[in-house]
Structure 1
Amino acid sequence: MAREDTYAADPEDALEMTRIMEQDQLVTKGMGGTFPEGDIPDDIQHILDVGCGSGGWVLDVAYRYPECEVVGLDVSEPLLAYARARANVQQRQNVCFVHGNVLSDLNFAEGEFDLVNIRFATAFLFRDAWVPVLKKLYHILRPGGIIRVTEIDTMGLTNSLAVETLLSYVYQTLGKMGYGFSPNFHSMGMTPVLKGLFTAAGFEQVKLFPWAIDFSCGTELHQKQYENYIATFDTLQPLALKAGLTTEEEFQDLLNQMHVDMVQENFQGVWHILTARGIKPQSSPSS
């Protein structure tokens, strides 16, 4: 059966599902919570998380703000089943997980949500889909509602040549496939364009909030990023080989060196992440 999504990796592959779950925890913890830029306004009651994956962010928000109704939208039924099971275990009554594809028609009413969140959509949105998708989300936000997008240029910067070389293959592979906005595919190129994408979709009062996650050897999040890298490189290796960027032997040699480098006491790594927040104008033009 043909996939209905445009994820770079198959979100229903067992390894990729595990990676998504682990990365979700890594990023929320590393950024300092679900809304590290500050508490949401009191008039935020109905929240949508697009590409919710295993539901970690949704469940964390529902716990932190029990007066809010939080909806998770994702194209992967296995991930949604896992998210619903977690909600049942936690007895979280103010969450709902919905199957849907943001590239297709959304079964939400105009102005239904007070806040819409997306994280790392560069993994499932081609560059020419960004503005159309943001316009869809503009439509389902109420006037004065908040759009919140968290994105990356890289998967971290390190002092390991092996890691940096493997990451370069990731950016080149994804860039050639149509993801991100880097002009030379040396990164994903997302953070410089977020403000412009928001403006093109009609949002105003755009603010940028930068975060830095330290995953150097000895830090709390080192192991999770190590595992994130292993799963990422394993998943994207066939795509990098198909693109002619490397050979299987060279790729394996780099992986072996990465394992050595990342357990050294002098291994250093930091992951720069950017959250952009915009507002739907109170008097908005018809879209």
Structure 2
Amino acid sequence: MSKGRWHYQMANIHPSENSYAVDPESAMEMARLMDLDIIVNKQMGGLFPPDIDLGKVHDVLDIACGPGGWAMEVAFEHPDKHVVGIDISRAMLEYATAQANMQDLQNIEFFFMDATASLEFPAASFDLINARFIVGFMWKEAWPELIKECMRILRPGGIIRITDTDRVFSPSNSAALEKFNIFVSKAFVRTGRSFCKEENANHFGLTPMLGALLAAAGCENIRKIPYMLNYSAGKPAHFAQTHNWEMGLALLVPFFRRTSMASQEELEELYQQVLVEMRRDDFRGIWYFMSAYGAKPM
């Protein structure tokens, strides 16, 4: 693997300090993120926005890369591009590095770095910056600062793309899953992660803000692409997405307890109800998410 142009160790935070709602070192979370990468890549129909000139993209940064799924796909399909992934999880980075070495990917490297702090790259280092589903660890106040940092390390004409959702768990006809959606929304308001001030709103208010956040940082030619994944019973995505929700819910139980959503006994009972309801033949669920991206002025 390439040793690249950034050899120093990213140490702007202590490894034990993070803002994740779930344990970022969890093996279950690693498995969930690997599955999610496959689901999302397929639903989005490609690794990059369809209307950008890839001939001008040479250096790519993936923020909160997790086990490196998207970053390694880019490195594999585009050996002419230099890809960097950053994450706060040592376990994720070790796995990603090992996988890249096994695949003999010479054009990718991974670093420990916290996206809620300063990004320790020189100005004008990248042509495209990607971030997917980072709402789980981003404080509301951290969003403008992160995008400002991305603009600093982008080259003129470079692209920043953010893909995220307003609900961790999607609208469905599962009463238990909807209850968990309410728990997440309330917990995110109470912990400063939500742009919505109403705890019972059942969403984060993030996707309506993404374009405005990019514009406030100076991005131009901002575009938004919505996505809809139907994972109802009988649909191709049903097994993969319901399994992903099962793992996600199990990982969020400690977060729900810390934010006083319910007792352990209530959470376990509700979790078992979700497992039953998502396996019914009449289960219906659709997951919505959105990409917003714009360019740094030339």
Give the TM-score normalised by structure 2.
0.89
Answering whether residue 23 of structure 2 is matched by residue 10 of structure 1, we say yes
Residue aligning to 2:215: 199
Find the aligned partners of 2:20 and 2:261 in 1 and give their Cα distance.
20
**Are the aligned partners of 1:8 and 1:174 in contact in 2 as well (CA < 8 Å)?**
no
Which amino acid in structure 2 is aligned with residue 231 of structure 1? M
Residue aligning to 1:44: 57
Report deviation, 1:128.
0.4
Residue aligning to 1:285: none
Report which stretch shifted further, 190-199 or 218-227: 218-227
Which amino acid in structure 1 is aligned with residue 249 of structure 2? F
Residue aligning to 1:169: 183
Answering whether residue 288 of structure 2 is matched by residue 272 of structure 1, we say yes
How many residues align? The count is 282
Find the aligned partners of 2:248 and 2:290 in 1 and give their Cα distance.
21
Report which stretch shifted further, 236-245 or 213-222: 236-245
Residue aligning to 1:101: 114
Find the aligned partners of 1:25 and 1:266 in 2 and give their Cα distance.
25
Find the aligned partners of 1:38 and 1:45 in 2 and give their Cα distance.
16
Q: Please list every run of 5 or more consecutive structure 1 residues that lacks an aligned counterpart in the other structure.
A: 283-287
Answering whether residue 44 of structure 2 is matched by residue 31 of structure 1, we say yes
* SS of equivalent to 1:197: helix
CA-based RMSD: 1.8
Report deviation, 1:63.
2.0
Deviations 1:246-277 (A, max 9, x none): 23333222222211111112111111110001
Which amino acid in structure 1 is aligned with residue 35 of structure 2? E
Residue aligning to 1:158: 172
Deviations 1:189-219 (A, max 9, x none): 2111001111121211111011111111222
Find the aligned partners of 2:162 and 2:229 in 1 and give their Cα distance.
17
Find the aligned partners of 1:40 and 1:82 in 2 and give their Cα distance.
31
Residue aligning to 1:148: 161
Report deviation, 1:17.
2.4
Report deviation, 1:2.
6.6
Find the aligned partners of 1:9 and 1:248 in 2 and give their Cα distance.
16
Report deviation, 1:39.
5.7
Residue aligning to 1:92: 105
Residue aligning to 2:149: 136
Find the aligned partners of 2:97 and 2:15 in 1 and give their Cα distance.
25
Choose the corresponding residue for 1:184, options 198, 203, 210: 198
**Are the aligned partners of 2:15 and 2:88 in contact in 1 as well (CA < 8 Å)?**
no
* SS of equivalent to 1:16: helix
Choose the corresponding residue for 2:250, options 234, 250, 265: 234
**Are the aligned partners of 2:126 and 2:153 in contact in 1 as well (CA < 8 Å)?**
yes
Give % identity: 37
Q: Please list every run of 5 or more consecutive structure 2 residues that lacks an aligned counterpart in the other structure.
A: 1-13
Report which stretch shifted further, 115-124 or 59-68: 59-68
Find the aligned partners of 2:121 and 2:39 in 1 and give their Cα distance.
30
Residue aligning to 1:262: 278
Deviations 1:62-105 (A, max 9, x none): 12222111111111111011111111222222111112122333
Change (3 A) 1:266 1:213: same
Report deviation, 1:37.
3.5
* SS of equivalent to 1:121: coil
**Are the aligned partners of 2:21 and 2:255 in contact in 1 as well (CA < 8 Å)?**
no
Deviations 1:210-229 (A, max 9, x none): 11111112222222222222
* SS of equivalent to 1:127: coil
Change (3 A) 1:151 1:41: same
Choose the corresponding residue for 1:224, options 233, 240, 253: 240
